[in-house]
Structure 1
Amino acid sequence: MQYRRFGRTELQMPVFSCGGMRYQFKWQDQDPANIPADSQKNLAATIRRSLDLGINHIETARGYGTSEMQLGWVLSQFKREDLIIQTKVSPKADPQAFRREIEKSLNYLQLDYVDLFGIHGINNEEIFKFTFERGCLEVAQELQRAGRIRHIGFSTHSSTDLIVKTIETGAMDYVNLHWYWINQDNWRAIEAATQQDMGVFIISPSDKGGHLYSPPQKLVDLCKPLHPMVFNDLFCLSHPQIHTLSVGAARPSDFDQHLETLPLLGRADE
């Protein structure tokens, strides 16, 4: 695995991250008794494979159903200091409701703190106001001062203008955003993040970046001799402003194709 400094967090971030929205049992919270043994066994194997590869950044969210709870059952098997754990919670009109959701996340994860906490989905002006005017950011900052959160950032599917506006508040340590070969519109936001020395995490480059895990034959032919996923990974990571790409692994083998990128990084121009 290769690692990059994740902006002013100073974390050494693997260039691939283990995203947690595909290996969970359900998209809604469940009674623990309802989680099938085979689902948990697969999740545990996926996390083990991730860490064996040196992908020690595990990323999830309150909005990913059973992901946090299922992760919490396995994280205790590993040394906490070896892990970079990130979760995300959506802002609310009531900042105390937001606080309760963060506490729920930490309880499900069975962690005293998370390394990275994301304001989840600053996608419109209303959510921006919930964050910066209604008190949600202050809640996260209080928990940061209490040692429950190490670094605060945000995730977004918004327009570039709103992403840049959020970055330019100077309040965020990192950003999760979309940018890849087929959609490079957010480069201006990445430049703004770089100026703020923020970490830059690319959301879903192989899924939203064109369903590259099941590419049409035309795309396969155009990308030869590389697989389209490897082509896209190489394109993204050839830019030093990009620190990590999310791999939304549903099973242990989902990392394998991406690993082909690593020995090619020194030959990206070629």
Structure 2
Amino acid sequence: MQYRRFGRTELQIPVFSCGGMRYQHSWKDEPGWKVPKASQDNLDATIRRSIELGINHIETARGYGTSELQLGRILPTFPRHQLIIQTKVAPKENAKEFRKTFEQSLRNLNLDYVDLLGIHGINTPELLEFTLRPGGCLDIARQLQEQGKVKFVGFSTHGPTDLIVETIQTDQFDYVNLHWYYINQFNWPAIEAATHHDVGVFIISPSDKGGMLYKPSPKLVELCQPLSPMVFNDLFCLSHPLVHTLSLGAARPSDFDEHLKTLELLDQAETLLPSILERLQAAAIATLGEDWVNTWHQGLPTHEQTPGNINIPIILWLRNLALAYDMQEYAKMRYNLLGQASHWFPGQKATHLSDFDLSECLQTSPHADKIPALLSQTHSQLGGQSIQRLSQS
């Protein structure tokens, strides 16, 4: 395993982290006796495999159902100083609830302290205010640090880039969990801000939210040769030294195997990546047109600025992926999540477009005249049954 300095924490963190949102028995809180032996055995085997590989950063959250509870059965069997344990707790309007939730996490994990506590889901200005205001969640986190229950405090986010940058620039956080990978590079300014403030950078879900790369389209497989799409994406992310660790979201011990192929290629990134990047860009231009590829995102309104709360940037982005790389399954999954995931994936689908006049909100887009038709086409191609976030299922 290779390790990188995790910002101001000074922790040597593995370049792969064992994310804890896919190996648990249930997304709902259930008593331990309801966890089947087979589920616990699988989780135990996954954690043992992780530690054997040198992936000693285990990441979970209070919102991941039985994940913490099941981890609490295996983590105390390892020397504590060899582990880097992160859990995450959502900000609350009532900071006392935040403390109570964290204390439950610590009991579930069967630990005296966690190395990393993430304020989970600073996705809106209101949630940032809940965190930072006097007597808010961050003040509680500082008290937990003083009590020795938490070593470092960070935050996770699915929010817009400007909000992430604003949160980092408060200089109150030791690390950030955010989305950034080949198909979604919009948060690079936040990574640069994190580097400026010496904040650790943890990449959320590069293989799932990064394109469902465990079941890629044949076209994507061809374009990424001689690497698998998963290894390409890992290498792309880790070729940037500003990125410190990628969450693998393992559901079983074998889920580490494909990612491990990346390690021996890290010093070959400058040789391997350029030709793949050129093919991916060429494929997008051949399908979508060079002008669109270079300018589609310019002048687009946010969903808050759009009639019907339609998330135009996300819809056009998903259209691009579906057409350029045949990523229809991924695009459909994400598109049908719109309207179902609150601030975790905000905005609405392009339904009932005839009810809305988009001309004003699109007036600064170079493609204003054709975007309404593209939204309608995309809805016809991707629309279907609404999908819930995993934590709601």
Would you call these one fold, judging by a TM-score over 0.5? yes
Cα distance between partner residues in 2 of 1:240 and 1:76:
32
- TM-aligned CA deviation for residue 110 of structure 1: 0.7
- TM-aligned CA deviation for residue 124 of structure 1: 0.5
Which amino acid in 1 is paired with 2:211?
Answer: G
Q: How does 1:171-210 map to 2 (within 5 A)?
A: 171-210=172-211
What's 2:169 paired with?
A: 168
Provide, for residues 18-64 of structure 1, a one-character-per-residue CA deviation record: whole Å limited to 9, x for no partner.
Answer: 00000000001101110000000000000000000000000000000
Provide, for residues 191-221 of structure 1, a one-character-per-residue CA deviation record: whole Å limited to 9, x for no partner.
Answer: 0000000100000000000000000000000
Cα distance between partner residues in 1 of 2:79 and 2:31:
27
What's 2:112 paired with?
A: 112
SS for the counterpart of 1:76 is helix
SS for the counterpart of 2:29 is coil
What's 2:154 paired with?
A: 153
Cα distance between partner residues in 2 of 1:147 and 1:104:
16
What's 2:78 paired with?
A: 78
The answer to whether structure 1 residue 39 and structure 2 residue 28 are counterparts is: no
The answer to whether structure 1 residue 144 and structure 2 residue 145 are counterparts is: yes
What's 1:68 paired with?
A: 68
What's 1:90 paired with?
A: 90
What's 1:234 paired with?
A: 235
SS for the counterpart of 2:270 is coil
- TM-aligned CA deviation for residue 138 of structure 1: 0.1
Cα distance between partner residues in 2 of 1:135 and 1:262:
41
Cα distance between partner residues in 2 of 1:105 and 1:260:
34
Cα distance between partner residues in 1 of 2:91 and 2:257:
35
Question: How does the TM-score come out when normalised to structure 1?
Answer: 0.99
Greater strand fraction, Structure 1 or Structure 2: 1
Greater helix fraction, Structure 1 or Structure 2: 2
Which amino acid in 1 is paired with 2:129?
Answer: K
What's 2:17 paired with?
A: 17
Structure 1 stretches of 4+ with a deviation exceeding 2 A read: none
What's 1:128 paired with?
A: 128
Cα distance between partner residues in 2 of 1:209 and 1:135:
33
- TM-aligned CA deviation for residue 250 of structure 1: 0.3
Percent of aligned positions with the same letter in both sequences? 68
SS for the counterpart of 1:86 is strand
Cα distance between partner residues in 1 of 2:36 and 2:99:
30
Which amino acid in 2 is paired with 1:30?
Answer: E
Higher relative contact order, structure no. (Cα contacts within 8 Å, ≥ 6 residues apart): 1
Which amino acid in 2 is paired with 1:263?
Answer: E
What's 2:287 paired with?
A: none
Which amino acid in 2 is paired with 1:62?
Answer: R
Question: How does the TM-score come out when normalised to structure 2?
Answer: 0.68
Cα distance between partner residues in 1 of 2:136 and 2:245:
29
What's 2:221 paired with?
A: 220
Cα distance between partner residues in 2 of 1:166 and 1:144:
20
Which amino acid in 2 is paired with 1:180?
Answer: Y
Cα distance between partner residues in 1 of 2:231 and 2:260:
8
What's 1:3 paired with?
A: 3
Cα distance between partner residues in 1 of 2:31 and 2:101:
17
Cα distance between partner residues in 1 of 2:144 and 2:33:
31
SS for the counterpart of 1:165 is helix
What's 1:259 paired with?
A: 260
How many residues end up aligned between the 2 structures? 270
SS for the counterpart of 1:26 is coil
C-alpha RMSD of the superposition: 0.5
- TM-aligned CA deviation for residue 76 of structure 1: 1.1
SS for the counterpart of 2:77 is coil
Cα distance between partner residues in 2 of 1:175 and 1:94:
23
SS for the counterpart of 1:164 is helix
- TM-aligned CA deviation for residue 125 of structure 1: 1.1
SS for the counterpart of 1:269 is helix
